[in-house]
């Protein structure tokens, strides 16, 4: 893989112009193009779009065209009661200073959805973390390598049904009830 | 790549030049970095998981631990998200005190960050001096909140208690002192030929590149885009306070350092202004006692402008005593991995610490 | 040539004086740096304490006998240098051309360190050593020109005679060759490894470079080498430009002891001056350091040389 570097940055054609579409206009625009979406205006600066995960890329592309160029975060929530995993894409417009949350849901079993890193570059790292912590696969993301969990064999730890105590007992052989009430005192005399 | 041409250096976590608890695997050809891979995870404490099992208020003691140099933004963003879900209105005086605390925290973080830059080029006098000033700020925090580094002072609904009576006078005195010291630091660091040689033209980025890669905060302002969440999405009392958004054009290491430098002055200005305009009244809204504190179902993404960039908390409540999920968006999550991996390529080994320090990467944001 | 009793005593004493003075100077430097940093700083004796502590430690990691040799090389090289430096106007070893021998000897110790670190296999130390050798190339150029200038000016290549020629205060070379003195002092900054020229041991770049694999007794050896080389290098400047500290004439033992103290005081002054520069500057990159040394210091050293040659020819 070729390393992309700063020298690829075109310093000549530098003229960043933030887009000025407001949240309301953007939501209206999205609704006009994709009428069966659930769109909600939360406040003058905040909007919410619920999409099927297969078309979220299209929605995000349109939002970016409308000036929502800052990808603030990608949150993942394990909705265990609904047997769903929710992904929330937070985008922000520097021009109109509006925030739109694009929410999409995946089945809890073998969750997988396309990467959006080609639309929003910062997603590459968020997806990498979510893959590790929630087990959501993002086909197309080139950096889904080991991130934080080193030598991890258990299930994704941020899922709601991950039993931390059972994992500790299994891997370290000690449960909370077995812990001495007082910390063990160091033995006197001589270091080992 | 030819095996005999490149050397691999593992830069950190035990390396004097690393900016916190993470590591870089650098592939060098001679003195040039050809490939950089960031290895975080040395400080992962699973805060997000822990927070799902603690009450709303217990988490206040947990969140500041995420970012050591600038802890108050965590409490503020977390509290703001809760307030928004609950529909709580923070009293004006509470908002003003929050602004002061946030600015003091920014001041301390910037002083520490500038000191880090001095350390990266070997000018150890600067970190000693700036961290000495930071200590006076920590003294102020101690007098106000009881804690020096972590304060647990901002609370859903306002701040935990009012300022002591003589505290504003003390704060103004410290501000006067720091302001009087600033010119000597400027001449020590920014007017030096060596700093010029090291920082000017170092890893320049453009605004579109920065926006594309999710660069926020002072690093984005150093490229010339006038963005500041304090102004764009006002929180606490910033709407009523007087300050300038500092922007510079060049987008290089010098601009990144200078933006931080000028923001120190702006923080002092905001603190003075807030103390002057300080309204009376209560500092905290009427809320249920901590043990009976319930948050109705809902979700909110609250973000604040930290000393390093955008700090966001996405809080999801399903009702009840515990948060359902809290997602923390730290500025270094983008700066510290993807952006840094790109910026380090084709730079000299000597500049690695300087670029990392210039971006003000705080690895605990990644390992939260 | 038979040695006099004084020479025998000095031969035994010179390394000891340099050893004691080096650690004392470094302790004073640490204190001064601390005061510039607005800190209290360690006690002046801290450097002695550190070295004795290091020698009391077990060495947990050794790599090969080459590393042992490298550390020894460094210390022996600097002890040999201390015999060539006239301390208080009385060199132990003095002959025509000893300045040139000394310049070569000064390079032995860093080469020893390079030998030792090369055997450790740590990439940081390898980079540190290569930087050290590059830096040596950089500062040796103006310094060599300065040495030639001095030889031309005093028409002798013996340090003893150079010191002899600067008996009176007005004969000091710093007054007759001010440009060369500036060039020499700039080279000295690199020779001492003080900022802005401490690239070989830059902590934030190469994790202290050559020292990174040295611990315990090895580090103690390197600290001794560093402390002694500080005195030798700053002392060389004193001998070349500041009259070698010869204040009391007469050749009595008492006068010699007095001169030794004057020499030490001058050496300390030169070293402290470089510490002042050290604490208000950052560090250049390697390329910038090379550019710097081959620019301004080389230029003024060359001008100084031409002035010395022309005045010898009787133009002035």
Q: pLDDT per residue over C112-132, tens digit each?
A: 777 777 777 778 888 888 888
pLDDT of residue C23: 92
User: Per-residue pLDDT for A5 more than 80?
Assistant: no
pLDDT of residue C192: 87
Does any CB of chain A come closer than 8 Å to the CB of residue B44? yes
Angle at B210 between CA B205 and CA B216, to 5 degrees: 120
pLDDT of residue B1: 47
pLDDT of residue B200: 87
Does any CB of chain B come closer than 8 Å to the CB of residue A62? no
CA distance B93 to B208: 39
Residue B305: φ, ψ to 5°? -90, 105
pLDDT of residue B350: 85
pLDDT of residue B268: 92
Q: CB distance C280–B192 less than 8 Å?
A: yes
Mean pLDDT of A36-54: 84
pLDDT of residue C273: 92
User: Per-residue pLDDT for A146 more than 90?
Assistant: no
Residue C284: φ, ψ to 5°? -75, 160
Chosen from A2, A7, A8, A9 to mutate, greatest number of chain B CBs within 10 A: A9
Report residue C307 as tokens.
């002035």
DSSP B233: S
Does any CB of chain B come closer than 8 Å to the CB of residue A5? yes
User: Per-residue pLDDT for A6 more than 60?
Assistant: no
Residue with the bigger pLDDT between C90 and B99: it is: B99
Least confident interval from B117-121, B353-357, C1-5, C141-145: C1-5
User: Per-residue pLDDT for C271 more than 50?
Assistant: yes
Taken in order B327, B212, B358, B35, the sign of the CA dihedral is positive
Residue of B nearest to C202 (CA): B122
Cβ-Cβ contacts under 8 Å for C33 (sequence gap 6 or more): B124, C41, C275, C278, C279
Domain extent listing, chain C: 5-312
pLDDT band at A187 (very low <50, low <70, confident <90, very high): low
pLDDT of residue A185: 63
CA distance C313 to A98: 81
User: Per-residue pLDDT for A190 more than 50?
Assistant: no
Domains along chain A with CATH numbers: 18-178 (3.30.460.80)
Q: Among residues of chain C, what percentage have pLDDT more than 70?
A: 96
User: Per-residue pLDDT for A12 more than 60?
Assistant: no
pLDDT in tens, C201-226: 888 877 777 777 777 788 888 888 88
User: Per-residue pLDDT for C74 more than 80?
Assistant: yes
Q: Is residue B126 part of a domain?
A: yes
Least confident interval from A26-35, B264-273, C1-10, C300-309: C1-10
Report residue C87 as tokens.
């301390």
Q: What range does the domain containing B182 cover?
A: 7-365
Chain C residues in contact with B17 by the CB 8 A cut-off are 203-205, 207
DSSP B350: G
pLDDT of residue C82: 85
- ipTM over cut 0.85: yes
Q: CB distance B310–A72 less than 8 Å?
A: yes
Cβ-based interface (< 8 Å): residues of B facing C: 7-9, 15-17, 28, 31, 118-125, 128-129, 132, 188, 192, 194-195, 197-198, 348-353
pLDDT in tens, C175-209: 788 888 899 889 988 888 888 888 888 888 777 77
Q: Is residue B318 part of a domain?
A: yes
CA distance B258 to B122: 18
Nearest to C38 among B31, B132, B197 (CB): B132
pLDDT band at A192 (very low <50, low <70, confident <90, very high): very low
CA distance B162 to B92: 12
User: Each residue of C127-150: b (16+ CB within 10 Å) or e?
Assistant: bbbbbbeebbebbbbbbebbbbbb
pLDDT in tens, A58-110: 888 888 888 888 898 999 998 888 888 999 999 998 888 889 999 998 898 88
Taken in order B208, B211, B212, B216, the sign of the CA dihedral is positive
- Spatial strand order of the sheet with B7-11 comes to B7-11, B23-29, B32-39
Residue of A nearest to B323 (CA): A77
Residue with the bigger pLDDT between C210 and A185: it is: C210
Q: Is residue B2 part of a domain?
A: no
- Tell me the angle at which helices C46-55 and C5-36 cross, rounded to the nearest 10 degrees: 110
pLDDT of residue C1: 52
Residue of C nearest to B195 (CA): C282
What is the nearest CA distance from A189 to chain B, expressed in angstroms? 31
pTM for the complete prediction?
0.87
Contact B342, B215 (CB under 8 A): no
Q: Where are the alpha helices (DSSP H) in B43-124?
A: 47-51, 58-62, 72-86, 92-120
Dihedral, B47, B49, B54, B58 alpha carbons, nearest 10? 10
Length of chain C: 316
Cβ-Cβ contacts under 8 Å for C229 (sequence gap 6 or more): C22, C78, C81, C106, C109, C192
Q: What is the CATH number of the domain that holds B48?
A: 1.10.645.10
pLDDT in tens, B284-293: 888 888 888 8
CA distance A86 to A75: 8
Contact A19, A67 (CB under 8 A): yes
Dihedral, A167, A169, A175, A179 alpha carbons, nearest 10? -120
- The chains found to touch A (3+ Cβ pairs under 8 angstroms) are B
Q: Is residue B1 part of a domain?
A: no
pLDDT of residue A180: 63
Nearest to C282 among B31, B194, B352 (CB): B194
The count of domains in chain B is: 1
Q: Is residue B11 part of a domain?
A: yes
Residue with the bigger pLDDT between C246 and B196: it is: B196
Cβ-Cβ contacts under 8 Å for B319 (sequence gap 6 or more): B294, B295, B296, B297
Secondary structure element (H or E) that encloses residue A124, with its range: helix A123-134
Which residues on adjacent β-strands are paired with residue B45?
none
User: What residues in chain B have per-residue pLDDT under 70?
Assistant: 1-4
Mean pLDDT of A103-119: 88
Cβ-Cβ contacts under 8 Å for B243 (sequence gap 6 or more): B230, B266, B269, B270, B273
Mean pLDDT of C143-172: 83
Side-chain-facing half-sphere of A23: CA atoms under 13 Å: 20
pLDDT of residue B173: 92
CA distance C182 to B282: 67
Residue with the bigger pLDDT between A89 and C154: it is: A89
């Amino acid at each position: 893989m070729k390393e992309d570097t700063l020298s690829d940055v075109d310093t000549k054609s530098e003229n960043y112009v933030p887009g000025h579409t407001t949240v309301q206009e953007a939501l209206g625009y999205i609704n006009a193009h994709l009428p069966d979406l659930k769109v909600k205006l939360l406040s003058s600066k905040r909007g919410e779009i619920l999409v099927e995960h297969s078309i979220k890329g299209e929605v995000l592309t349109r939002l970016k065209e409308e000036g929502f160029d800052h990808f603030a975060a990608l949150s993942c929530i394990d909705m265990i009661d609904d047997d769903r995993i929710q992904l929330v894409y937070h985008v922000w417009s520097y021009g109109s200073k509006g925030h739109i949350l694009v929410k999409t849901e995946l089945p809890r079993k073998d969750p997988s959805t396309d990467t959006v890193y080609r639309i929003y570059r910062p997603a590459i790292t968020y997806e990498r973390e979510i893959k590790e912590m929630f087990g959501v696969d993002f086909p197309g993301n080139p950096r889904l390598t080991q991130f934080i969990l080193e030598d991890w064999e258990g299930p994704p730890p941020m899922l709601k049904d991950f039993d931390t105590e059972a994992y500790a007992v299994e891997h370290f052989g000690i449960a909370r009830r077995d812990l001495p009430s007082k910390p063990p005192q160091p033995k006197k005399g001589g270091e080992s | 790549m030819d095996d005999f041409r490149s050397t691999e250096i593992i830069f950190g976590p035990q390396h004097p030049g690393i900016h916190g608890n993470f590591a870089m695997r650098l592939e060098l050809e001679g003195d040039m970095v050809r490939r950089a891979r960031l290895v975080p995870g040395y400080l992962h404490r699973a805060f997000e998981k822990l927070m799902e099992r603690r009450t709303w208020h217990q988490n206040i003691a947990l969140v500041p631990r995420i970012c050591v140099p600038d802890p108050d933004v965590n409490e503020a963003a977390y509290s703001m998200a809760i307030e928004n879900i609950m529909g709580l209105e923070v009293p004006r005086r509470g908002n003003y005190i929050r602004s002061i605390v946030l600015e003091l925290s920014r001041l301390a973080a910037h002083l520490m960050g500038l000191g880090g830059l001095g350390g990266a080029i070997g000018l150890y006098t600067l970190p000693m001096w700036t961290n000495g000033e930071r200590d006076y700020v920590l003294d102020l925090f101690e007098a106000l909140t009881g804690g020096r580094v972590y304060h647990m002072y901002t609370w859903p609904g306002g701040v935990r208690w009012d300022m002591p009576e003589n505290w504003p006078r003390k704060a103004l005195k410290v501000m006067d002192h720091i302001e009087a010291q600033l010119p000597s630091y400027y001449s020590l660091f920014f007017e030096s030929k060596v700093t010029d040689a090291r920082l000017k033209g170092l890893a320049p980025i453009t605004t579109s590149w920065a926006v594309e890669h999710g660069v926020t905060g002072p690093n984005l302002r150093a490229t010339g885009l006038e963005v500041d969440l304090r102004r764009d999405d006002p929180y606490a009392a910033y709407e009523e306070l007087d300050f300038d958004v500092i922007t510079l054009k060049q987008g290089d290491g010098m601009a990144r350092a200078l933006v931080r430098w000028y923001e120190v002055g702006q923080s002092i200005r905001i603190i003075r202004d807030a103390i002057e305009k300080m309204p009376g009244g209560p500092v905290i809204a009427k809320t249920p006692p901590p043990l009976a504190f319930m948050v109705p179902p809902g979700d909110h993404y609250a973000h604040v402008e930290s000393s390093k960039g955008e700090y966001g908390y996405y809080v999801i409540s399903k009702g009840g005593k515990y948060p359902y999920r809290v997602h923390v968006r730290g500025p270094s999550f983008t700066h510290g991995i993807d952006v840094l991996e790109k910026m380090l390529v084709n730079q000299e080994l000597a500049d690695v610490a300087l670029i990392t320090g210039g971006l003000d990467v705080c690895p605990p944001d990644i390992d939260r | 040539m038979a040695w006099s009793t004084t020479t025998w005593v000095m031969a035994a004493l010179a390394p000891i004086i340099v050893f004691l003075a080096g650690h004392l100077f470094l302790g004073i430097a640490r204190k001064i740096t601390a005061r510039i940093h607005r800190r209290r700083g360690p006690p002046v004796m801290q450097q002695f304490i550190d070295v004795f502590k290091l020698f009391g430690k077990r060495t947990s990691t050794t790599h090969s006998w080459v590393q042992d040799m490298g550390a020894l090389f460094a210390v022996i090289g600097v002890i040999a240098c201390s015999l060539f430096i006239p301390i208080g106007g009385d060199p132990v070893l003095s002959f025509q051309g000893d300045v040139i021998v000394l310049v070569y000897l000064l390079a032995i110790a860093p080469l020893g360190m390079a030998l030792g670190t090369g055997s450790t296999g740590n990439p940081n130390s390898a980079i540190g050593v290569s930087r050290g050798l590059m830096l040596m190339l950089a500062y040796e150029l103006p310094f060599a020109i300065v040495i030639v200038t001095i030889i031309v000016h005093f028409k002798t290549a013996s340090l003893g005679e150079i010191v002899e020629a600067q008996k009176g205060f007005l004969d000091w070379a710093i007054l007759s060759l001010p440009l060369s003195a500036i060039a020499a002092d700039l080279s000295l900054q690199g020779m001492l490894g003080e900022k802005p020229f401490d690239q070989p041991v830059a902590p934030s770049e190469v994790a202290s470079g050559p020292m990174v694999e040295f611990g315990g007794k090895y580090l103690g050896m390197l600290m001794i080498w560093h402390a002694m080389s500080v005195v030798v290098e700053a002392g060389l400047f004193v001998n070349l430009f500041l009259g070698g500290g010869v204040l009391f004439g007469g050749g009595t033992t008492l006068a010699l002891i007095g001169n030794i103290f004057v020499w030490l005081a001058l050496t300390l002054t030169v070293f402290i001056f470089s510490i002042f520069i050290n604490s208000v500057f950052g560090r250049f990159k390697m390329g910038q350091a090379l550019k710097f040394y081959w620019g301004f210091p080389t230029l003024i050293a060359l001008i100084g040389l031409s002035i010395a040659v022309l005045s010898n020819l009787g133009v002035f």
